[in-house]
Copies of this chain bind each other. A is one copy, B any other.
Amino acid sequence: MTPHLKTALTGPLLSLEKHLIEEMANIEHWFRTQWLEHASPFYASVDLRNAGFKLAPVDTNLFPSGFNNLNPDFLSLSVQATTVAIEKICPEAHRLLIVPENHTRNIYYIKNLFELKNILKKSGLDVRIGSLDKTMLEPVEIAVENNKTLLIEPLKRVKNRLVLENKILGNFDACAILLNNDLSSGIPDILKNIEQNLIPPLHAGWAIRRKSQHFKAYDEIVKSFSEFIKVDPWLINPYFDHANHIDFHMKQGEDELSYKVDQILDKIKLKYKEYNIKHEPFVIVKADAGTYGMGIMTVKQGNELKNLNRKSKNKMSVIKEGLGVSEVIIQEGVYSEECINEAVAEPVIYLIDHFVIGGFYRVHTTRGKNENLNAPGMHFVPLAFETSCSTPETDQSPLSTPNRFYAYGVIARLALLAASIELEANDPANT
């Protein structure tokens, strides 16, 4: 057991957070009703931003890494939630194969895989890891820490099954495959038409998923939820729009993008006026598909996008795995008013099945309150939540940490519901 980490959150709980805690029984009932109609993704992480006056998700990851950043005291919560998920999706499963990202030289990612494997093992599965990396010909054992190692084996396809072939450990034919690879570079042939249960399904990958579709689904969810608890939906929902056929190098689509940016900025200005907020509005323009904070910029005026220098054009044109960007989402920027030791902090909430199982703060000492904290090359400090998100105290001071975390858990679950609806809409079986 590690010592409890202190998350130094100060400032009064905003009225929204108070309202969410007061309405807890109703909110939980509302979620129960929702989950009767929608199947939760197997797992997710949700990046939130807390502006004091506004608390909103800015990104929902359906292939979460960073399990190593969670408070190990709450491991049992992850194990229990995973047991529930496995019972729903594949109760008969004995063996599970994790298909990871290819960047196995990133020790943080390896630690994440180690923890993810640990959670799955403790839920009672025989777990091995099979890599898509075609350059991997032999199993590789990677040092994690404290004499612990992680074995990654090359993935083989035999007819319509993914297997591992290993003369020492024995072959491995899993009942279910867990993807921890977001398929940014498209769906590899080896994963197509697999007869094993793929979790999450292929259409959850960035080859098919679009952020704008996610936030469209989030719009619907927020509409229903905010009517139910009687709050202005804007307080938990960032404005957004999207634009296609963009080519930053060819200056293609710039006018339309610039126009849409100004439209969003105008809408934010009206809201800031309504709530008497003195900040300068900004938007985030980012790739509509993809992750890792690449292809992303902060914009305060539409015409900034018409005069991009070469560096900015390059930055905006390429995301992970060298893929080009032609579709972008324009998202209302949410200031982060959360600071830990004077550094800007962004909460990241982890979910397994429809349960919040923990979270951590991405803390960055050199970035501003209106910048993306999940940027390439950035070194954030992960700071695990010291309590769970499911134990608010209605009779405690509103400053108490469990109370703030409850609000985070509510917003993260709204984003998770949006992901469910998005996946249902994208499911090839439904079209």
* Interface residue ranges, A against B (CB under 8 Å): 1, 4, 24-29, 31-33, 35-36, 73-77, 79-81, 83-84, 86-87, 91-94, 121-126, 148, 355, 386-392, 394-395
Q: Are B126 and A32 in contact (CB under 8 A)?
A: no
Residue of B nearest to A126 (CB): B25
Q: Are B125 and A25 in contact (CB under 8 A)?
A: yes
Q: Could you say which of A1, A29, A92, A148 has the most chain B C-beta atoms within 10 Å of its C-beta?
A: A29
Given contacts A84-B84, A387-B1, A124 and B355 within 8 Å (CB-CB): no
The 20 sampled A-B contact pairs (Cβ below 8 Å) are A1-B386, A24-B121, A24-B122, A24-B124, A25-B124, A26-B94, A29-B93, A29-B124, A32-B91, A32-B92, A33-B91, A36-B87, A36-B91, A74-B76, A75-B391, A76-B388, A79-B388, A80-B390, A121-B394, A122-B391
Q: In the complex, which residues of chain B have a beta carbon less than 8 angstroms from the beta carbon of A386?
A: 1
Residue of B nearest to A81 (CB): B80
Q: Are A390 and B122 in contact (CB under 8 A)?
A: yes
Given contacts A79-B390, A388-B76, A390-B76, A92 and B33 within 8 Å (CB-CB): yes
The minimal Cβ–Cβ distance linking A407 to chain B, given in whole angstroms, is 14
Q: In the complex, which residues of chain B have a beta carbon less than 8 angstroms from the beta carbon of A27?
A: 124
Residue of B nearest to A27 (CB): B124
Q: Could you say which of A27, A31, A35, A83 has the most chain B C-beta atoms within 10 Å of its C-beta?
A: A83
Q: In the complex, which residues of chain B have a beta carbon less than 8 angstroms from the beta carbon of A126?
A: 25
